[in-house]
Amino acid sequence: MAEFTLDLNDDQKQVRDWLHGFAADVIRPAASEWDEREETPWPVIQEAAKVGIYSLDFYAQQFFDPTGLGIPMAMEELFWGDAGIALSIVGTGLAAVGVLANGTEEQIGTWIPQMYGDANDVKVAAFCSSEPDAGSDVASMRTRAVYDQAKDEWVLNGTKTWATNGGIANVHVVVAVVDPELGSKGHASFIVPPDTPGLSQGQKFKKHGIRASHTAEVVLEDVRVPGHCLLGGKEKLDQRLARARERAQSGGERVKNAAMATFEASRPAVGAMAVGTARAAYEVALDYARTRTQFGRPIIDNQGVAFQLADMRTQIDAARLLVWRASWMATTGKPFESAEGSMSKLYASETAKKVTAQAIQILGGNGFTREYPVERMHRDAAIYTIFEGTSEIQRLVIARTLSGMPIR
């Protein structure tokens, strides 16, 4: 088991510097354009694929880093470049994590490569869980999956929303209800292969931030997928549902559903994204405070500005430490006994919102214009306290874990 350390090894430093260079040289120069266009930045994704960043091999190497720091380090550097473009580059990862968390070895080997494509023909994937009436309240999910035993097919019907890459993805991973009586415990995840009839893109959302990332509804109308597209297989699902029914009758312990397994695995990574955005805004504000003069001196000479920067840096470092701790715990198999994963996501998300707002304040009127990137960073930061579990949901998870009580 890898010991927890704050020192990156030489290989990690090399990867970090490589990613930082790509973020500085390729992502940042394109950030404003794709934010304005509100379109998927396919040329940037292709450049990432050409150098090996957008690939299964790269993410596998980071995912299996024995220290657990590979993924959060990568997320921080890419999102330091720009959150919208970075999310377009890494958005496929949530679907891939869904397959890794719930799929068989054969499913992992079959579907994850198809999510990425190659440098000459890049593809993306989408993880579809939220619904118009079921976001944080996953128990209210309405999308149904019914098994057609005669054909060994699952039939999916429903509407998903807030799906990154929804409708434009080569592979969709869809969470659906297979046993309505079990609530959130009666969910399962399904692969919807490319060009499957009945799947279509609904509304594409025009967003406040992360505009370079495609977000849309996914409509499923009598979508038929083969039995082998049920992640984990039917035998495993039947066993899990049977245990859930027994525990429901006896009032026993809760069983994690497929969507929550994916979110738990990805929350520290989302925290790292938030750290990257916060760090980017802090660095812009620090540089501005050093060079902007008022009343004959740099504004950083004023305690009101200097103390804000001190707080910003302290909060960013604290957020990174929480993310690294949770990532190390997840990789080394240590249970989140105090909801450390949710802690990391909560604190980093709130820090990103606060730090980007402070950066605008330090830049004054300039910070409020699109001539400086902190305005965009502040818009982007708003998403971190919302997606993959709102800050309120993170607090609920933490409070329930600490108290052992069904707090509502």
Residue ranges, the chain, pLDDT below 70: 1, 251-265
Whole-number Å distance between alpha carbons of 83 and 277: 7
Alpha helix segments (H runs only) across 103-195: 105-116
Give me the residues paired with residue 187 across strands. Answer: 177
Q: Active site includes 264?
A: no
Alpha helices in 293-373 (DSSP H): 303-331, 340-363
Angle between helices 258-291 and 340-363 (to 10 degrees): 30
Candidate list 3, 337, 388, 392, residue with the active-site label = 388
Contact 143, 111 (CB under 8 A): no
β strands within 106-210, DSSP E = 117-118, 121-122, 125-128, 144-148, 153-164, 171-177, 187-192, 199-204
- Main-chain phi, psi angles of 235, to 5 degrees: -60, -45
Backbone angles phi, psi at 70, to 5 degrees: -60, -50
The span from the CA of 302 to the CA of 289, in Å, is 10
CB 271 within 8 A of CB 350: no
Contacts 24+ apart (CB under 8 A), 105-108: 107/191, 107/228, 107/231, 107/232
H helices present in 196-292, as ranges:
234-250, 258-291
What tens digit of pLDDT does each residue of 189-225 get?
999 999 999 999 999 999 999 999 999 999 999 999 9
Q: What angle do CA 191, 195, 83 make, to 5 degrees?
A: 65
What per-residue confidence (pLDDT) applies to 134? 81
**In the prediction, which pLDDT does 255 show?**
47
pLDDT score, position 262: 56
Say if residues 165 and 122 touch (Cβ distance below 8 Å).
no
Tell me how many degrees the CA angle 269-275-278 measures, rounded to the nearest 5.
Answer: 150
Q: What tokens were used for 373?
A: 């990137």
Token pair for 289: 């405070």
In 3D, which of 312, 291, 310, 268 has the Cα closest to residue 366? 291
pLDDT tens per residue across span 266-314: 799 999 999 999 999 999 999 999 999 999 999 999 999 999 999 999 9
